[in-house]
Copies of this chain bind each other. A is one copy, B any other.
Amino acid sequence: MEARVETEFRSDIEYKTLLDKFKTVLKKEGLRFTKQREVILNGLYSVDTHLTSEELYQLLKSNNPKSNIGIATVYRTLSLLERGELVTTLLTDNTKKYELSAKEHHDHIICTDCGKIIEFVSPDIERLQESVAEELGFKILDHSMQIYGICKDCRK
């Protein structure tokens, strides 16, 4: 069987769009749009990786030295974003990592040797997931999938 695979998602959501999405979520929950929340969203957007809460916190501190964000706010905002489905989480090496999910859904293939993470989507797999869920009586909301293996470079 031959699988179609797509691996390019990076620049496909504009920051403006993301921001609007966020504001919509906030409004829907009756929450306020604050400078800190925007800085955190922007930090996640600006970075092309999966971050732990601590890494994100450090990033924000160095990018916005004056804005003096607290780690508690980072946690609170990450939960908020997670509930609002703008952020997804990933458990790698026993640590929880966050990334923006809003750009476009994708899965992960992770090299257990060097830690490299490639994002991909296989429309065929997506479709099968739908059909599995249906057979088991579920209405799908979301899914997460990680493949672990050794990448080409590490096999040399």
Contacts and interface: CB of A to CB of B under 8 A. Distances in A.
Given A3-B128, A89-B91, A128-B128, A149 B133 contact: yes
A132 B122 contact: yes
Interface size class of A (residues with CB under 8 A): 35 or more
Copies of this chain in its oligomeric complex: 2
Given A89-B91, A133-B147, A138-B150, 4 more contacts: A125-B129, A141-B149, A142-B148, A142-B149
A142 B146 CA distance: 9
Interface string A104-141: 00000101100000101010110111011101111111
Contact of A124 (B128, B142, B145, B148): B128
A138 B109 contact: yes
B131 A109 contact: no
Interface of A: 1-3, 5, 7, 89, 91, 96, 109, 111-112, 118, 120, 122, 124-125, 127-129, 131-133, 135-152, 155
B143 A143 contact: no
18 contacts: A1-B124, A1-B131, A3-B132, A7-B136, A91-B91, A109-B133, A109-B136, A120-B132, A120-B136, A122-B128, A122-B132, A128-B128, A129-B147, A138-B149, A139-B155, A143-B147, A144-B145, A144-B148
